[in-house]
Amino acid sequence: MKEYQPLPASIEEIGRKIISAAYKVHSSLGPGLLEKIYEICLTYELQKMRLKAERQVIVPVKYDELVFEEGLRIDILVENTIIVEVKAVDLVNPIWKAQVLS
C-alpha cells in the first residue's frame, strides 16, 4: 500500500485560493449557468489573485508512435500544477473522476 505524503504548503495554499475563488464565483452567479461561464469567471478570479491560470489547455495523448495533439483538454490549469475540472450539475458522475485522474 502506498503511504500518504502530505502536499507541500505551497500547493495547499493554491488549493485554498482555488476554493475561495470558486466559492466567490458561485455565490455571485448562483446555479444554472453554462460551465463555460463559470470557467471564464473562475479563471478571472484566480488571475486576480496573481495565480497563473490557463483555460482549455490541450494535453497530447501518446499511443505507440502516434501523438494526438487534440487528445485531452483541461478546463483550467493553475500554476502548471493543479487541474480544475468545472462542472455545473446537480450530481457528480463517477466517470468525471476517472477523466481527471487520467
Round to whole Å and give the CA distance between 79 and 2.
26
Which of helix, strand or coil describes residue 43? Answer: helix
Q: What is the mean pLDDT of each run of 10 residues along the chain (102 residues)?
A: 83 94 94 91 97 93 84 90 85 72 64
pTM of full prediction above 0.85: no
- CA 54 and chain centroid, separation: 9
Q: Kindly state the cell numbers that stand for 47.
A: 488571475
Per DSSP, the residues of 16-35 read HHHHHHHHHHHHHH-SSS-H
Residues 46/78, Cβ–Cβ less than 8 Å? yes
Q: Kindly state the cell numbers that stand for 8.
A: 507541500
